[in-house]
Amino acid sequence: MSDDHVYMTLAEGHEDDARWAYGTGFEDPLHGVDTTVPEGVDAAGLAACCLALGDDALVSAQRLAEWCTRAPELEEEVALANIGLDLLGQARLLYARCGQVDGTGRGEDAYAYFRDPGDFRNVRLAELPCGDFAFSVTRLLVLSSWRLAHFAQLTASPDPVLAAIAAKGVKELAYHRQYAAEWAVRLGDGTEESHRRMRRALEQVAPYIGELFTAYDVRDEVVAVLRQVTEAAGLPMPVYRPLPGAGRDGDHTEHLAPLLVELQSLARAHPEGTW
């Protein structure tokens, strides 16, 4: 089973769906794909993994969408929007898989629009406000490096659907990381003002980096990427001391609730609405 086959099968035939979310509401979003949980795979653990990674992607995509009409240049606005769409696509696939294995049979809308903040399992770095462009670039660099490293591991998952989702995501995340790294170097090695802003962004992101390493064992790879980029940019390597609590446990900052209000308000006001 190829990753392209899984991705195309999920999207095929649903172009005219009129429910909320992003083409969701399918009767069977994994039509044509063998969704049986392989023998020996913990279904609850698989569902938790898909849910958490889906939440990371959804919340990150929502933050990136806030740059529409606000990016420094039109080209960057398009690039950030496309990165957000990539993440939205990953969220769709992960939520669809979660609904197949967690015993609820829920669709993508249920996960995206009808859960409260305490039910989300995204890392807290994803939910922080956008700040300036330097902050968003720095956050994207950290999150894409971390997510790419973990997705690379998941391509060997014993669950063939998750492995295929990961393989598809690796291609996208490699671009996300490259985009962020190029901008980090450009700003860090740019003007005095852009350098100052990048230093400040690294300081703001640093407290949330440690939480990423408690979730998955990808510390060495992520640290190596950050070191390479900061050295090229003439920036200090961020010193991370994790804050108490963790988004994976439902412990979030005060910024997640208003983000979800904006994301979910229309769907909640008109459940099962069509457009």
State the Cα–Cα distance between residues 112 and 218, nearest whole angstrom.
Answer: 27
Q: Alpha-carbon Rg of the chain, whole angstroms?
A: 18
DSSP assignments along 57-91, one per residue: HHHHHHHHHTTTTTSSSHHHHHHHHHHHHHHHHHH
> What does each C-alpha distance from 73 to 65, 76, 102, 177 come to in angstroms?
15, 5, 43, 19
State the Cα–Cα distance between residues 261 and 258, nearest whole angstrom.
Answer: 5
State the Cα–Cα distance between residues 74 and 105, nearest whole angstrom.
Answer: 41
Q: Which two tokens stand for residue 216?
A: 């998955």
State the Cα–Cα distance between residues 39 and 34, nearest whole angstrom.
Answer: 13
Tell which residue, 196, 173, 175, 198, has the closest CA to residue 185.
198
Please report, in tens digits, the pLDDT of each residue of the chain (275 residues total).
344 433 333 334 434 443 433 333 444 445 566 788 888 999 999 999 999 999 999 999 999 999 988 888 888 999 999 999 999 999 999 999 999 999 898 989 999 999 999 999 999 999 999 999 999 999 999 999 999 999 999 999 999 999 999 999 999 999 999 999 999 999 999 999 999 999 999 999 999 999 998 867 899 999 999 999 999 999 999 888 777 778 889 899 999 999 999 999 998 998 877 65
Q: Which two tokens stand for residue 271?
A: 């459940």
Q: Dihedral (C-alpha) 207, 95, 20, 69: value to the nearest 10 degrees?
A: 30
State the Cα–Cα distance between residues 164 and 1, nearest whole angstrom.
Answer: 8
Asked whether 219 and 213 are in contact (CB, 8 A), the reply is yes
Q: How many CB atoms lie within 10 A of CB 189?
A: 14
Asked whether 110 and 99 are in contact (CB, 8 A), the reply is yes
Domains and CATH numbers, the chain: 3-269 (1.20.1260.10)
